[in-house]
Amino acid sequence: MLQCAPMNETKPFSKVSWQTVSDDEAGQRLDNFLLARLKGVPKSYIYRIIRKGEVRVNKGRTKPDYKLRAQDEIRIPPVKVSESQATPNPNLTAISQLEHCILYEDEIMLVVNKPSGLAVHGGSGLQFGLIEGLRALRPEQKFLELVHRIDRDTSGIVLVAKKRSALRSLHEQLREKTVEKTYLALVAGKWPKKATVVEAPLQKNTLKSGERIVRVDIQGKPSKTRFSIKEVFASATLVQCEPVTGRTHQIRVHTQHVGHPIAGDPKYGDPRFLQFEEQFGIKRLFLHAFEIAFIHPRSESTLRITAPLDVELEGVVKRMRNSTQ
């Protein structure tokens, strides 16, 4: 089990500090700049010190939504800042193995093949996730942020920005839906050939237990996924999924909506599929972010990266092929 270093106590900054906005930091809002700098300080407190004029930009008062420009001088008053969240020890086996999960890296970004079971970030009872692990491996990297997210139980490709300019560029591509994301999923039964596109609005719900669940609801947000059949087995189908929109649990709910839930899905799966899962050794959600294509923020050329199925999922596929011979 991964263990974190203990949290440090609140560290007081008793002196006024001045920060100069770099070219890479330009364009972001003042409040977001301060939230990144003053981790552990409540958002309400940050807005208060801006409103009271204790935060100054180029010696003048300003508003939280002020867009920073390169070389702006920001005055930050004395505050008490909690140390950053506990960081996993980079020498831990599970964390050091993340080095082998890096599919691509250059001076502005990383592409990681995230293992199943590892959340992309800490929170909700988790002290750390993928991004905290990468920060532990790259302590010299001042900026390291997730470009997008995938579910904890989903394996596969995650983009991480090492420069704010790269983060802005990739976020813009995601908003314009020009990033091509392809997943592989093993679904129950024979996937219907006519189900090439599923458009079903999705609504987030919270159960009394506190569990978050997503359902198809006419009042929900428009959601669209493209599907194609990759391989057909006796009792299941390997499908390729291309989410056009990026809603929470979108592929999992859309496959369930069609009547062919994903194997190993504890939230949206079909109990009638359990015997099949046990027969072929399916012990986790069979959903994998297989391929991604986007415009590289610096070279402006198309970068296409593929993450092969891990040993566990590949083993399931081989067993299923053998069973149909």
- Across all residues in the chain, what is the average pLDDT? 87
257, 292 Cβ separation under 8 angstroms:
no
Instruction: State residue 2's pLDDT score.
Output: 38
Which fold does the domain 11-81 belong to in CATH? 3.10.290
pLDDT band at 82 (very low <50, low <70, confident <90, very high): low
What confidence tens digit (pLDDT) does each residue in 236-283 have? Answer: 999 999 999 999 999 999 999 999 999 999 999 988 788 888 888 899
Fold of 93-173: Pseudouridine synthase (3.30.2350)
The third-level CATH classification (topology) of the domain covering 177-323 is Pseudouridine synthase (3.30.2350)
> Are 11-81 and 177-323 the same fold in CATH?
no
The Cα–Cα gap between 200 and 165 comes to 34
Residue with tokens 């988790």: 126
What are the boundaries of each domain within the chain?
11-81, 93-173, 177-323
Q: Which of 72, 151, 265, 270 is catalytic?
A: 151
If phi over 0 gives left and psi between -120 and 50 gives alpha, with beta otherwise, what is residue 99? alpha
Q: What percent of the chain has pLDDT over 70?
A: 89
Amino acid identity, position 43? K
pTM exceeding the 0.85 threshold for the entire prediction: no
Give tens-digit pLDDT for 102-155: 999 999 999 999 999 999 987 655 567 898 889 888 888 888 999 999 999 999
Whether 151 is a known active-site residue: answer yes
Q: Give, in degrees to the nearest 5, the angle at Cα 134 between 132 and 140.
A: 105
Pairing mode of beta strands 180-188, 236-243: antiparallel
At 214, the pLDDT band (50, 70, 90 cuts) reads very high
Could you report the per-residue pLDDT of 280-321, keeping only the tens digit for each?
889 999 999 999 999 999 999 999 999 999 999 999 999 989
